[in-house]
Chain A
Amino acid sequence: MKENGMSLIVKRITRITVSLIFMFGVYILLHGHLTPGGGFAGGVIIALSFIHLVLAFGKETAFKRMDQVGASIAESFGGLMFLGIALLGVFAGKEFFLNVLPKGTPFDLFSSGIIILCNIAIFIKVGAGLFAIFVALAIMRIPVDDPGQEDGR
């Protein structure tokens, strides 16, 4: 199959909407301790922006931005960051997962201790993870008639 993405109109609009979706995801992430959402919802939106790229531009072009190996590394990094933040409490001599950073004034953007850092870690992990699931399910070709197709692993 010789597809290289969708038509020209879709590609022009995608250039604008992908950055908007990305920014929206980051907004949902950063206000996670004030409004509904947080790390998981922000991560899902970020994954959607990458999938939007793959759908509009085709596999090869989109993989220059983030491909499977990058997604796997980002996922591991996000998980390690979350565990590291949770272990800060143990290294400070007290409980695991204790809120040890300064908490600031309520209702501010940079308040509430480790909650915002944990949200960022979850954001990276979920975004990369959902994109990896999509790539793993979508690049597996079902060998129908073509002898020249390879099924990805």
Chain B
Amino acid sequence: MVVFFVVIPLLAAFLVPLVSKMREGSARVLAVLTGSLLLLLSIAGIFMVKNGSIVYSLGGWRPPFGICMVLDGLSVFFLLIINLIGFIALIYSWDYIKRYSSQGLYYTLFCLMLSGLNGVAVSGDLFNLYVFLEITSIASYALVAFGTQAEELEAAFKYMVLGSVASAFILLAIGILFGSVSTLNMADIARSLADSGSRKLILFCLGLFTMGFSLKAGLVPFHTWLPDAHPAAPAPVSAMLSGVVIKVIGIYALIRLVFNVFIFTPAISQIFIWMGIISMSVGVLLAIGQWDFKRLLAYHSISQIGYVIFGIGLGTPLGIIGGLFHLFNHSLFKSLLFLNAGSLEYATGTRKLQEINGSGRAMPFTSVSSLVASLSIAGVPPLCGFWSKLIIIIAAFQAGNIIGGITCILVGMVTLASFLKVQKYAFSKQAGDIVSKIKEVPLTMVAAMSVLALFCVLIGLFFVPFLDQLIRPATNVLLEGANYVNLILGG
């Protein structure tokens, strides 16, 4: 049932403080149990949607009078990403969080964040989407500030101010939209906007929405919080933030609104394409000069999200397939890279690349999974990143966008250079004096990283059935914008 995606993590978040007062260390058992249950539910959801989408109305009130939750191809795709990366991050935190003093707080905030993310993915009502977005954002602000060192607090304050401004813009846009069409159900808004609607006010609304959601997604020129906030968080939280949160509350909400509620005009397409091209270039150019491992990964996140928005902004079916496939791959390998950075920090105590050289000999699992992830993000065949970048480049040339295609190829080459530098310094240089003191990280962290690396390789080898089963239904939902209305209000 659709509503359990939100209820199960909420139950866990309320039970964890009670349980962790009774016995220290039992909170993580409850959290991992929750994560596994959610993963099983989301895999079951993929099979439930094959016969058509599911609409669930809360409290028995039929839409458009009540709040409804919708499970269609796009929602199921994002639910899989959220719960898979969430489960792996929870397994990684089993041993990593022992360094911080209050474990119960961490698991409460993490489960609240999971609940909010799932709620954004299944929501069918505009204000409900905003409320779940705020739950996710507040939980992530608190998680970024979790270590309470001076740098983390400053990064958390910067993230918080910018995130609140974005939420204020989104709420203002919801207010203006509500004043125009007098309803909050997304299908009903789509129907009203198709009939009539004063054009200037609706364009202003769309501009405010784009500003707000682009800030949440980390697109240029709204990216300034990302290089400070993502390195400052604990490693599993960084993996969730960079791998899931910026995608669900930024990209998913934006494309759900633009494709299914508003009309996807060529002007919006041009805006997305140019934002994508600028994000790609700025992200990778700023990443070249970084010597802090996690900060470098955060800049690369900006660049790869630029790829995704560029692919989706092309508007053609191949472009959207490429964009969504790259989104899935990016969440896999970027989470793996952040978990690797966390393992390096756990073992050696520092994040600077010049100081951790030669750790590859002492930590075999970490170095192999890091090699797989680096080759994947650079786009080397036959790993998963190569196929998604190839599809985006082919779609760009097919749509006649030569500048975009050439930018994609050049940015891919610079990404490869940047990650070869990381591999050389962190793992393969001559063993320094630091390597005699470090050993491999504990078993749960190794297991989490190995599972993600295995997924990278498997998706790279068997990507054709994956595209057919999972991404093609998601693309169809986006392309038939008007069908959304018939699905919810007709049935």
Pick from B15, B17, B56, B58: contact of A72, CB below 8 A: B17
Bound-state Cα–Cα, A105 to B22, Å: 44
Bound-state Cα–Cα, A80 to B3, Å: 16
Pick from A76, A89, A99: contact of B15, CB below 8 A: A76
B59 and A97 contact, CB distance less than 8 A: yes
Bound-state Cα–Cα, A90 to B8, Å: 13
A97 and B15 contact, CB distance less than 8 A: no
Pick from A69, A79, A153: contact of B14, CB below 8 A: A79
Distance to closest chain B CB from A138 (angstroms):
18
Which residues of chain B come closer than 8 Å to A75, judged between CB atoms?
17
Which residue on B lies nearest to A79, using beta carbons?
B14
Which residues of chain A come closer than 8 Å to B21, judged between CB atoms?
69, 72-73
Specify which of B3, B14, B56, B57 lies most central, judged by the most chain A CB atoms within 10 Å of its CB.
B14
Distance to closest chain A CB from B110 (angstroms):
16
Q: Does B11 contact A (CB under 8 A)?
A: yes
Distance to closest chain A CB from B80 (angstroms):
22
A96 and B18 contact, CB distance less than 8 A: no
A95 and B60 contact, Cβ closer than 8 Å, known pairs A83-B10, A90-B1: yes
Q: Does B394 contact A (CB under 8 A)?
A: no
For residues 13 through 58 of chain B, which have their beta carbon under 8 Å from a beta carbon of chain A? 13-15, 17-18, 21, 56-58
A96 and B14 contact, CB distance less than 8 A: no
- Contact-size category for A: 20 to 34
Distance to closest chain A CB from B198 (angstroms):
34
Which residues of chain B come closer than 8 Å to A98, judged between CB atoms?
59-60
For residues 67 through 118 of chain A, which have their beta carbon under 8 Å from a beta carbon of chain B? 69, 72-73, 75-77, 79-80, 83, 86-87, 89-90, 94-99
B11 and A80 contact, CB distance less than 8 A: yes
B59 and A95 contact, CB distance less than 8 A: yes
Bound-state Cα–Cα, A87 to B6, Å: 12
Specify which of A80, A83, A95, A96 lies most central, judged by the most chain B CB atoms within 10 Å of its CB.
A96
Q: Does B7 contact A (CB under 8 A)?
A: yes
Which residues of chain B come closer than 8 Å to A80, judged between CB atoms?
11, 14-15
Pick from A73, A76, A96: contact of B3, CB below 8 A: A96
Which residues of chain B come closer than 8 Å to A86, judged between CB atoms?
7
Bound-state Cα–Cα, A7 to B218, Å: 54
Bound-state Cα–Cα, A90 to B6, Å: 14
Bound-state Cα–Cα, A69 to B17, Å: 10
Which residue on A lies nearest to B67, using beta carbons?
A97
A94 and B60 contact, CB distance less than 8 A: yes
Which residues of chain A come closer than 8 Å to B56, judged between CB atoms?
95-96
Bound-state Cα–Cα, A87 to B101, Å: 34
Pick from B7, B14, B58: contact of A95, CB below 8 A: B58
Bound-state Cα–Cα, A38 to B318, Å: 52
Which residue on B lies nearest to A75, using beta carbons?
B17
Bound-state Cα–Cα, A95 to B62, Å: 11
Bound-state Cα–Cα, A98 to B60, Å: 6
Which residue on A lies nearest to B69, using beta carbons?
A96
B17 and A76 contact, CB distance less than 8 A: yes
Which residues of chain B come closer than 8 Å to A77, judged between CB atoms?
18
Which residues of chain A come closer than 8 Å to B10, judged between CB atoms?
79, 83
Which residues of chain B come closer than 8 Å to A73, judged between CB atoms?
17-18, 21
Q: What are 11 A-B residue pairs whose CB atoms fall within 8 Å in the complex?
A: A69-B21, A73-B17, A75-B17, A76-B14, A79-B14, A83-B14, A89-B60, A90-B1, A97-B58, A97-B59, A99-B60
Q: Apart from A80-B11, A95-B60, A153-B102, what are 12 other A-B pairs with CB-CB below 8 Å?
A: A76-B15, A76-B18, A79-B13, A83-B7, A94-B60, A95-B56, A95-B57, A96-B59, A97-B59, A98-B59, A99-B59, A99-B60
The 8 closest A-B pairs by CB, nearest first: A79-B14, A97-B59, A96-B3, A95-B60, A98-B60, A76-B18, A76-B17, A80-B14
Chain B residues engaging chain A, CB cutoff 8 angstroms = 1, 3, 7, 10-11, 13-15, 17-18, 21, 56-60, 101-102
Chain A residues engaging chain B, CB cutoff 8 angstroms = 69, 72-73, 75-77, 79-80, 83, 86-87, 89-90, 94-99, 153
